[in-house]
C-alpha cells in the first residue's frame, strides 16, 4: 500500500490491520500494487521474500536505470493544466509509456475555473480526445460536482494518479479522499519516513472500500529508454493505420521518400505537432 526505500506497508489478503515490512538480505524490488509474500522474522518484524508476477508496470527509464512507479493497475489518471502550462512532450511520453503497457488512460483537465488558461488547454486536449483518450474537465476547489464523473470512473478499480508538478494532484487527492492527510501521516509514521511524506508512492482506499487511488510524486521528466522504436510507433494511435504503407519496409518515418506517416502529417490527417514531438522522442536530428 506504500513504499519508501526498503520500507513497505502491506495489506494482508486475509484482512485486518496493515503491517510494516522490509526487504532484507538480497534486494527485493517491489512497488505499490505488487502482490508480495512475506514472513515473520525472529525479531518480530516482517520481511518480504518475493514479489508475484506483474500484469503491468508504470515505469520510466533513462540510459542508466529504470524506475517502476506502480504495478498491477487497472487505469491511470493523468492530470494536465493550463496554469502552470502542462508540458505536451511530457504528456506524450506518459501516454506512450502507459499505452505500451496496455494501461487505459483517463486525462483530467484541472483548474477549469481559470477560464482563460482552461480554454487554451482545451484546444490541445481535443486532439487527444479524438485519439481515444477520455478527457474530463474538473475544478476540485471551486466545483465539487465536476468530480462526480471522475468518481464513477474510479469505482472498483486501481487507479494510479500521475502528473507533472503543479497540476493540482494534491488538491484532487484531498477532494477524493478527505482522510488523505491523516492517512499520509499514519503511513509516514509507520514507515518512519518523517519529512519525506511527499516523496513516496502510496495507495488510498476510497469510501467504497474497494477502489484504490495510488498517489505518486510529481515529476518533470518521464524517460522511455526501455521502449523500442517499434513499441513507440505502435503506441501512437494515429500512426497505426499507416504502418506498413510506406515505400520502404525499414522506413523510420522521418525524411524517407514515400513515408505514409509523414505524408499524413503534412496533409493534416495526423496532428503535426505530435508528429514533430515523436521525431524528437525518436532522437532524430
- Residue 46 labeled ligand binder: no
What confidence score (pLDDT) does residue 182 get? 53
Distances (CA, A) of 195 to 31, 149, 191: 20, 34, 11
213 neighbors 173 (Cβ within 8 angstroms): yes
Position 221 in a domain: no
Is 246 part of any known ligand binding site? yes
Q: Any binding-site annotation on 110? A: yes
Q: Is residue 9 part of a domain?
A: yes
Does 183 carry a binding-site annotation?
Answer: no
Specify whether the CB–CB gap between 176 and 150 falls below 8 A.
Answer: yes
The Cβ-side half-sphere exposure at 36, using a 13 Å CA radius, reads 27
Q: Are 247 and 257 in contact (CB under 8 A)?
A: yes
Encode the chain (285 residues) as per-residue pLDDT tens digits.
Answer: 998 878 899 999 888 888 999 887 666 689 999 999 999 877 777 999 889 999 999 999 988 899 999 999 999 999 998 877 889 999 999 999 999 999 999 999 987 666 556 677 888 888 999 999 999 988 888 888 999 999 999 999 999 999 888 888 888 998 998 877 655 556 666 665 544 344 678 999 998 888 999 999 888 889 999 999 999 999 999 999 999 999 999 999 988 999 999 999 999 999 999 999 999 988 743
Separation of alpha carbons 183 and 21, rounded Å: 18
Same domain, 194 and 235: no
The alpha-carbon radius of gyration of the chain (Å, integer) is 21
Cell matching residue 274:
505530435
State the pLDDT at residue 207. 86
User: H or E element: which one contains 69?
Assistant: strand 66-71
Query: Is 170 annotated in some ligand binding site?
Result: yes
Q: How far is it, in rounded angstroms, from Cα 92 to Cα 276?
A: 11
* Residue corresponding to grid cell 500521475: 162
Characterise 115 by phi-psi region: left (phi > 0), alpha (psi -120 to 50), beta (else): alpha
What total of structural domains would you count in the chain? Answer: 3
Flag whether 169 is marked binding.
yes
**Based on the domain organization, do 42 and 63 belong to the same domain?**
no
185 known member of a binding site: no
Does residue 220 lie within any of the structural domains? no
Q: Judge whether 39 lies within some domain.
A: yes
166 belongs to an annotated ligand binding site: yes
Per the CB < 8 A criterion, the answer to whether 163 and 217 are in contact is: no
- Could you tell me if 141 and 155 lie in one domain? yes
Ligand-binding site membership of 142 (annotated): no
Domain span holding position 236:
229-281
Does residue 222 lie in a domain region?
Answer: no
CATH number at residue 142: 3.40.50.300
- In the DSSP assignment, the letter for residue 86 is P
**Is 167 annotated to bind ligand?**
yes
Same domain, 40 and 131: no
pTM exceeds 0.85: yes
Tell me, yes or no, whether 233 lies in a domain: yes
Tell whether residue 163 is among the known ligand binding residues: yes
Instruction: Give me the CATH number covering residue 255.
Output: 1.10.40.50
Closest CA to 140 of 180, 105, 167, 179: 167
* pLDDT at residue 197, rounded to an integer: 42
126 and 28 in one domain?
no
Is 181 annotated among the ligand-binding residues?
no
Amino acid at each position: 500500500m506504500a513504499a519508501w526505500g526498503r520500507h513497505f506497508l502491506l495489506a494482508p489478503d486475509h484482512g485486518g490491520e496493515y503491517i510494516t515490512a522490509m526487504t532484507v538480505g538480497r534486494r527485493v524490488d517491489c512497488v505499490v500494487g505488487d502482490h508480495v509474500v512475506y514472513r515473520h522474522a525472529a525479531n518480530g518484524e516482517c520481511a518480504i521474500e518475493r514479489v508475484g508476477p506483474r500484469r503491468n508496470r508504470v515505469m520510466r527509464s533513462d540510459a542508466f536505470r529504470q524506475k517502476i512507479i506502480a504495478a498491477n493497475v487497472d487505469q491511470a489518471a493523468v492530470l494536465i493544466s493550463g496554469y502552470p502550462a502542462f508540458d505536451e512532450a511530457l504528456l506524450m511520453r506518459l501516454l506512450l509509456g502507459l499505452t505500451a503497457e496496455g494501461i487505459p488512460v483517463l486525462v483530467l483537465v484541472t483548474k477549469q475555473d481559470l477560464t482563460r488558461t482552461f480554454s487554451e488547454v482545451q484546444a490541445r486536449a481535443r486532439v487527444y480526445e479524438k485519439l481515444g483518450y477520455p478527457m474530463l474537465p474538473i475544478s476540485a476547489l471551486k466545483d465539487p460536482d465536476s468530480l462526480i464523473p471522475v468518481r464513477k470512473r474510479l469505482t472498483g478499480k486501481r487507479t494510479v494518479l500521475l502528473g507533472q508538478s503543479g497540476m493540482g494532484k494534491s488538491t484532487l487527492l484531498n477532494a477524493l479522499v478527505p482522510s488523505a492527510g491523516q492517512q499520509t501521516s499514519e503511513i509516514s509514521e509507520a514507515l518512519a519516513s518523517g519529512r519525506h511524506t511527499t516523496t513516496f508512492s502510496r495507495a488510498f482506499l476510497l469510501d467504497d472500500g474497494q477502489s484504490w487511488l495510488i498517489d505518486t510524486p510529481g515529476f518533470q521528466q518521464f524517460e522511455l529508454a526501455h521502449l523500442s522504436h517499434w513499441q513507440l510507433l505502435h503506441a501512437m494511435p494515429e500512426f497505426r493505420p499507416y504502418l506498413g504503407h510506406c515505400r520502404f519496409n525499414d522506413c523510420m518515418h522521418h525524411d524517407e521518400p514515400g513515408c505514409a506517416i509523414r505524408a499524413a502529417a503534412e496533409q493534416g490527417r495526423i496532428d503535426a505537432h505530435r508528429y514533430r514531438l515523436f521525431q524528437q522522442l525518436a532522437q532524430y536530428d
